[in-house]
Each structure stands twice: as structure tokens, then as C-alpha cells.
Amino acid sequence: MSHYARLIAEKYGLGDEYANTIFCTAPMHDIGKIGIPDAILLKPGKLDAEEWKVMHRHPTMGAEIIGIHDNELLQMAYTIALTHHERWDGRGYPRGLKGEDIPVEGRIVAIADVFDALISVRPYKPAFTVEDSVAMMVAETGRHFDPTLMVAFEAALPEILRIKEIYADEHGALTDTEFQIKEIYAGKSR
């Protein structure tokens, strides 16, 4: 997911330094889930209203875990943890931020996170195809997602799909793909 966020940031024109910072901080987006009971996180069915209330606390818990710091990486990690479930139309959580009031790193990670969730198996759902996932996300452009960032996501999609294949479960553990990762960072697979 952090690779997806990096690619979206690059296509959006935020520069290599910003893209690398979001790559390093995006993995902390769900750190607040350590405060959510496993019975909710791993529930095979839909969450009820009370369970959703608990689940909706994870962005705030994540921001509290990270804390406020002067360090650029920790600042961005805090912001991402807190804002990755905000929605472009203001119907997200925990603050109900709308449009550009949502920090760009939160908007980017929202796209990367939803795409990753849609194409992945979860306890409550099977993986959707890439085509269906992209179609669902495009349908939510302007509601859930920033329209200009969705353009960047779609431009990055061929590279995102290469990353998806590199990290696919059938390729084995992360250490098994170390040579592929090194090629990406050397610019050979980009």
C-alpha cells in the first residue's frame, strides 16, 4: 500500500522527497487498530453499529499513539493516521473534513488503502478484481476521493499493478522478492 501511495504522489507531481516520505509513513496509517479488539478486526461478517463506533476510533487512536513531533516523518505519519478515513465530500471520520481541508497525504493514502483493501482478501470479503475495484473507486470520485488525485491514481495504475504482482502472496515472502525491490529502487522496473 505504501508503494501505491508513493506512486500516486509522484504522478500528482509532489516530487521525489515527498513521495519517499509518504512511502515511509503510509505503513503507519492503521497503527490505531492495535487498540481495536480482534473480535471486531477479524469478524467474518458485517460490523454492527456498536462495532463500527469502536472501529471508527482507530484513526484517533493511531494519531495518539504516534503523537505530535517536530520530526517530518512522524508529523506525516500522525496526519495520515488521523485523516486516511476522511472523505472528499465531508462524510468521513473522525473529523468530517471536506475537500482540500483534508491534508493531501491523507487523501493519497485513502486512495491507496481502499484500492489495497478492495483487491485483497479480508475476513469479511473475498478479493475483488482489479477492474471491479477501479470501477468502484471511479464511481466514488468526488464523493470519497479527491478527483485530481484519482487522475494521478489512474495514471499510476500500470506501475501499481506491477507492484501488486511483485508482492502477490503466490510469490512468497518479502525476502524472496528482494532482487525485484532493489531493481525498483534502482529505476530498472519503473
Q: How many residues does the chain have?
A: 190
Strand partners, 13: none
The shares of helix, strand and coil residues in the chain, as percent rounded to the nearest 5, are 65, 0, 30
- Annotate 57-95 with b (16+ C-beta within 10 A) or e (fewer): bbbbbbbbbbeeeeeeeebbbbbbbbbbbbbbeeebbbe
Closest CA to 94 of 58, 136, 139: 58
In angstroms, the CA 115 to CA 48 distance is: 24
Active-site residue set: 33
Contact by Cβ (8 Å): 144, 115: no
Dmax of the chain from CA atoms?
49
